[in-house]
Amino acid sequence: MTEKKHILVAGGAGFIGSHLCEYFLGQGYRVTCLDNLITGREENLASFKNHPDFSFVLKDVISPIEWEGDIYAVLNLASLASPKEYYKYPIETLKVGSIGTLNLLELAKAKKARYLLTSTSEVYGDPQVHPQREDYWGNVNPIGPRSCYDESKRFSESLTIFFHRVHGVQTRIARIFNTYGSRMRLDDGRALPAFLTQALTGKEVTVFGDGSQTRSFCFVGDMVEGLAKLLFSEETTPINLGNPDEITLLQFAEMVLKMTQSKSRIVFQSLPEDDPRLRKPDITKAGRVLGWHPKVALELGLQQTIPYFLSQLEQCGTKIV
């Protein structure tokens, strides 16, 4: 009997990471989740934590990683991805994007494993090109409040591509745009969790600025499929993964209110510094190279996501209005 291939997911107790763990278990792989639980949650692993091919290791990837046995692929999702968290932990965010990335790349090199970096649309900063293509270098403030995340991801990409060029590591780089679905944290701080939590509890729905800034939301199931296709591809340069259906944040807030049948009202607050005005992926390359396009429309994805938020709020004893 052939031994199952082993995939290591750093940050696997997080939102997207836990879905990837579950996906690869379903595909017949052995999966190890590495997470320090600074933002990840063991609760996200509950549906598969007793799977015979799954293991969890409590570990911070900024410390050296020693591993016995084979590894087929290293997936790097270790990062603090929401503004609320990286504002709170800027040094940790920079460390995981630099030292953590280096440690995981060294592991992939030692094991001759494939390596997938989950980068971000934030490498484009507040873009002057719309929609954003992979050949756009971005408009990033290197010392702004968001720079701990933006620049750590830009450095991660550079380190990753040079491990490929210098050491021949089979690296893959995904630039992930806004993604949503079950296992997001209620206190994540990003637009979708904030709007849903506020609407379901009858609180004012907070829109920053005048709400004209745009985002493009991709359902987590589509994102996992895209990441898997990228991992098994031969593409070493960055690829955008996201849903190109663009919507203003005001329109999105109004959609959430309608779908939750909430009587909450929308209020406006000042726009945070360096908050991107536009965000829409050009996914031409993903379609051409991976044959990937998102399938789940925003309204359908929200219909699948709202019950999760309701259950989380009920677990917390929060009153649903």
End-to-end Cα spacing for the chain? 55
> CA-to-CA distance for 118 and 279, rounded, in angstroms?
17
Amino acid identity for residue 210 in this structure? D
Burial of 26 (0-12, 13-18, 19+ CB in 10 A): exposed
> CA-to-CA distance for 316 and 321, rounded, in angstroms?
14
Mapped onto helix, strand or coil, the DSSP state of residue 299 is: helix
**292 neighbors 286 (Cβ within 8 angstroms):** yes
* CA atoms within 13 Å, Cβ hemisphere of 20: 31
Among candidate residues 115, 124, 149, 180, the one labeled active-site is: 149
> CA-to-CA distance for 188 and 70, rounded, in angstroms?
35
Positive or negative CA dihedral for 22, 59, 157, 129? positive
Mapped onto helix, strand or coil, the DSSP state of residue 69 is: coil
Active site residue 149: yes
**130 neighbors 278 (Cβ within 8 angstroms):** yes
Show which residues are catalytic.
Answer: 149
